[in-house]
Amino acid sequence: MDEFVNLKATELRLGLPGTDNACEERERVSCNKRTLQGVTENETESSMIKTGTCPPRKAQIVGWPPVRSSRKNIIQTKKNESDSEGGRGVYVKVSMDGAPYLRKIDLSCYKGYKELLKALEIMFNFSVGEYFEREGYKGSDFVPTYEDKDGDWMLIGDVPWEMFVCTCKRLRIMRGSEAKGVGCVV
Amino acid sequence: MNYFPDEVIEHVFDFVTSHKDRNSISLVCKSWFKIERYSRQNVFIGNCYSISPERLLRRFPCFKSLTLKGKPHFADFNLVPHGWGGFVQPWIEALARSRVGLEELRLKRMVVTDEGLELLSRSFVNFKSLVLVSCEGFSTDGLASIASNCRHLRDLDLQENEIDDHRGQWLSCFPETYTSLVTLNFACLEGETNLVALERLVARSPNLRSLKLNRAVPLDALARLMACAPQIVDLGVGSYEDEQDSESCLKLQAAIRKCTSLRSLSGFLEAAPHCLSAFHPVCHNLTSLNLSYAAEIHGSHLIKLIEHCKKLQRLWILDSIGDKGLEVVASTCKELQELRVFPTDLHGGGNTAVTEDGLVAISAGCPKLHSILYFCQQMTNAALITVARNCPNFIRFRLCILEPHKPDHVTSQPLDEGFGAIVQACKNLKRLSVSGLLTDQVFLYIGMFATQLEMLSIAFAGDTDKGMLYVLNGCKKMRKLEIRDSPFGDAALLADVNKYETMRSLWMSSCEVTLGGCKRLARKAPWLNVEIINENDNNRMEENGYEGRQKVDNKLYLYRTVVGTRVDAPPFVWIL
């Protein structure tokens, strides 16, 4: 898919990168939009802890689309392979400095940064502080970052959510002195 | 003609090959009926339950080729549960007992067993050709019997079957003295292949024209095979992963260049993108290209290949080619007659790879196009109207918009007018599949204009019984009607019972027909088999104690027959 994706990246469009149909559609289709307002703390916690278990996708109709199993199988294989390469960025690894093992989350489960960060905070039991456009995250030793398609480590929150979901390859919660220098002016 | 002796008439009949025509001439008079039945070589039975093997043999004692079809079309999409029927065993047994000199057997959507294949291989000395399409129930052991016993076998053509691969040595079962192979297609086998046996077989088959390999045949083996068979016309490439070294790549390229008779290419079941370029030298002669299983190859590589294929008549491809790719097809393939574009994203959530623009481009660029199967995520009436204007020659038009009930994405209107334009313009249309948001209006158009229509597939369409009635009343040549998830009920089903005598079959699933309605139909038409396939709950559909108004949750399948209720139906199939 590499060459094809690169063509898309260099395409001149009016929209921001990341606002192509692929990402929008995926967000729309993937899970029922959950609103956190009015949901108790406990509920949030328990639903967030089920990381990667997104509410089920659109119910699949038996025998639809009218495609033979042998064809469905090759498409599924391709999907699984590209998923595991992280090409689609749906399931991404999350590491936290000092934690013994990594986790994986499904980015398409979240509506935006607020939900994502809340989920990470619960998962790793920490606090990210407050996000400022200029200074980055203040009030915490932890800084949420992500590796983008170019291999650069970026601060989470700078770009529009859709663009983030499309370009994010993995997450890393940086800590302490190493966190300095990533998007913050201090 | 009555002044000629029978032998002369028979000789004239030899030139009449289409089974429809032969059926017609057999109706002219008793004398012709008799001559025709003794001279018919190829028998076609579109529904194996419409007649019995015994009656077949009584009518046609001398045939050499038999074509049988079993399950209904929607079985391809898992709508017919396992065990429903379509067993070929009684046919093979009856033929084996008779003195028919069977040479060719072609089966579609039937259940075949190893025992059946063994019996077949031992019963007919001159057996030459076995073609199995979408069949199941057998393993490579059955193939071993065929290989071992059929001395004069020419064709072994296995298309999209479910075969239990025992990874045995079926290929080495062909005797060393056996050299008459013309067609070998085992692309659908999942397991390992004995490459040595395969290479030796190909090397001793000078008449081999068609070779389709499975995914277990790697690149270097392919090169050796092609070097042994430069006369090949039809090639199905198996696994085509990254060339390990440039030497095998060079060998492959050299072998390909020698295959000057190559006209048809398919396979690429596991393919790396850059390998396609090895085939560029032969592209200019290709008339048929099937890349619909090559999920690994991406748009730009497909386009580069197709740019060389100026003589292409048939193209099967994935939608990863995109609208841009279809524009290349439209400007390059001026001889194109048949196009199929399959989806790479089944749930309508991915990129809109091909849209109505691609379809319009093809219709504008390919004047000889007569058959199309097009999966896409969006369509407009305007596009369909343009397509109809550009291409009034469609014989088969199958459009599948992936999301049910999806309207014209620009105007939000139903797609009635678009499909209406298609049926009005395409006076020779024989097969149509509709999709998207559709009201009864589209069926009014179909009933009015689609006078030659023989097969119609409807899904998630229509508003009332009127829709189905328009079709049943209007399409005089309708043979196969299959409907799912549409609000047609008993009134439509029962309006004209005699209509079903002119049709091969009707399928209705998840519609509004009731059990009572089906029962009434079965009573009115004893020459029909009215089957209810009830897979969910074997106990629910009991004879006693259920109101006739119980909706048929599952599936209705009815077909005309001259031999009454079939005896091999499983418990979940209820024949009324």
Show pLDDT as tens, one digit a residue, over chain B (576 residues).
567 888 899 899 999 989 989 999 999 999 999 999 999 999 999 999 999 999 999 999 999 999 999 999 999 999 999 999 999 999 999 999 998 999 999 999 999 999 999 999 999 999 999 999 999 999 999 999 999 999 999 999 999 999 998 877 899 999 999 999 999 999 999 888 899 999 999 999 999 999 999 988 888 889 999 999 999 999 999 877 665 566 777 888 889 999 999 999 999 887 666 667 889 999 999 999 999 998 877 788 889 999 999 999 999 999 989 999 999 999 999 999 999 999 988 776 556 689 999 999 999 999 999 999 999 999 999 999 999 999 999 999 999 999 999 999 999 999 999 999 999 999 999 999 999 999 999 999 999 999 999 999 999 999 999 999 999 999 999 999 999 999 999 999 999 999 999 999 999 999 999 999 999 999 999 999 999 998 665 444 444 444 455 555 679 999 999 999 999 999 989 998
* Cα B321 to Cα B303: distance, rounded to the nearest angstrom: 7
Region for residue A106 given its phi and psi (left: phi exceeds 0; alpha: psi -120 to 50; beta: otherwise) = beta
Instruction: Identify the pLDDT of residue B558.
Output: 96
Residue A133 contacts B where some CB pair is shorter than 8 Å: no
Contact B557, B551 (CB under 8 A): no
- Confidence grade of residue A130 (pLDDT, cut at 50, 70, 90): confident
Q: Structure tokens of A186? A: 């201090």
The bridge status of strand A142-148 relative to strand A168-175 is antiparallel
A65: preceding bond cis by omega (within 30 degrees): yes
Instruction: Identify the pLDDT of residue A185.
Output: 44
Contact B451, B427 (CB under 8 A): yes
Instruction: Identify the pLDDT of residue A26.
Output: 39
Contacts 24+ apart (CB under 8 A), B55-62: B55/B562, B55/B563, B56/B94, B57/B94, B57/B95, B57/B98, B57/B100, B61/B37, B61/B98, B61/B99, B61/B100, B62/B38, B62/B100, B62/B101
**Interhelix angle B299-306/B322-332, nearest 10 degrees:** 0
Nearest Cα residue to B472 out of B459, B491, B572: B491
Nearest Cα residue to B479 out of B27, B25, B72: B72
ipTM greater than 0.85: yes
Q: Structure tokens of B153? A: 């076998």
Where is pLDDT greater, at B144 or A74? Answer: B144
Instruction: Identify the pLDDT of residue A81.
Output: 54
Amino acid in the structure at residue B218: P
In three-state form (DSSP H/G/I as H, E/B as E, the rest C), the secondary structure along chain A is CHHHHHHHHHCCCCCCCCCCHHHHHHHHHHCCCCCCCCCCHHHHHHHHHCCCCCCCCCCCCCCCCCCCHHHHHHHHHHHHHHHHCCCCCCEEEEEECCCCCCEEEEHHHCCCHHHHHHHHHHHHCCCCCEEECCCEEECCCEEEEEEECCCCEEECCCCCHHHHHHHEEEEEEEEHHHHCCCCCCC
CA atoms lying within 13 Å on the CB side of residue B238 = 26
| A25 chain-B contacts, CB cut-off 8 A | 348-351
| B459 chain-A contacts, CB cut-off 8 A | 64, 66
Residue A58 contacts B where some CB pair is shorter than 8 Å: yes
* Cα B550 to Cα B558: distance, rounded to the nearest angstrom: 18
Instruction: Identify the pLDDT of residue A163.
Output: 83
Q: Which residues of B touch A (CB under 8 A)?
A: 74, 76-79, 134, 160, 188, 269, 273, 292-293, 295-296, 298-301, 320, 342-352, 375, 400, 402, 404, 433, 457, 459, 484-485
Instruction: Identify the pLDDT of residue B63.
Output: 95
* Cα B158 to Cα B172: distance, rounded to the nearest angstrom: 17
Contact B356, B320 (CB under 8 A): no
Q: Structure tokens of A115? A: 């939900």
Interface contact A1-B298, CB threshold 8 A: yes
What pTM does this model have?
Answer: 0.78
Percentage of the residues of chain A whose pLDDT score is greater than 90:
4
Nearest CB to B295; choose among A62, A69, A75: A75
* Cα B224 to Cα B279: distance, rounded to the nearest angstrom: 15
Buried b or exposed e, range A27-52, using 16+ CB within 10 angstroms = beebbeeeeeeeeeeeebeebbeebe
Best of B298, B434, B485 to mutate (most A CBs within 10 Å, chain A): B298
The bridge status of strand B455-459 relative to strand B480-484 is parallel
| DSSP H helices in B179-243 | 195-203, 219-228
Q: What is the mean pLDDT of chain A?
A: 67
Amino acid in the structure at residue B301: H
Instruction: Identify the pLDDT of residue B358.
Output: 96
- Confidence grade of residue A48 (pLDDT, cut at 50, 70, 90): very low
Residue B292 CB: number of other CB atoms within 10 A?
Answer: 19
Interface contact B77-A28, CB threshold 8 A: no
Rounded to the nearest angstrom, the minimum Cα separation between B267 and chain A is 12
Count A/B contacts: CB-CB distance under 8 Å.
Answer: 85
User: Residue B312: helix, strand or coil by DSSP?
Assistant: coil
Q: What is the pLDDT of residues A13-27, one digit of tens each?
A: 454 544 444 443 333
Instruction: Identify the pLDDT of residue A152.
Output: 85
* Cα B109 to Cα B159: distance, rounded to the nearest angstrom: 11
Interface contact A74-B459, CB threshold 8 A: no
User: Residue B389: helix, strand or coil by DSSP?
Assistant: helix
Q: Structure tokens of B310? A: 């100026």
Is A41 a residue whose pLDDT tops 50? Answer: no
Amino acid in the structure at residue B268: F
| B433 chain-A contacts, CB cut-off 8 A | 66
User: Residue B301: helix, strand or coil by DSSP?
Assistant: helix
Instruction: Identify the pLDDT of residue B250.
Output: 80
Phi, psi of B122 (to 5 degrees): -95, -15
* Cα A85 to Cα B269: distance, rounded to the nearest angstrom: 20
**Chain position carrying tokens 């519609």:** B511
- Confidence grade of residue A36 (pLDDT, cut at 50, 70, 90): very low
CATH of domain A91-175: 3.10.20.90
Nearest CB to A58; choose among B273, B347, B433: B347
Nearest CB to B78; choose among A7, A21, A63: A63
Residue B272 exposed, middle or buried by CB count within 10 Å (0-12, 13-18, 19+)? middle
Amino acid in the structure at residue A134: R
| B299 chain-A contacts, CB cut-off 8 A | 4
Residue A22 contacts B where some CB pair is shorter than 8 Å: yes
* Cα B95 to Cα B437: distance, rounded to the nearest angstrom: 48
| DSSP code of residue B551 | B
* Cα B269 to Cα B217: distance, rounded to the nearest angstrom: 10
Nearest Cα residue to B278 out of B203, B214, B222, B233: B222
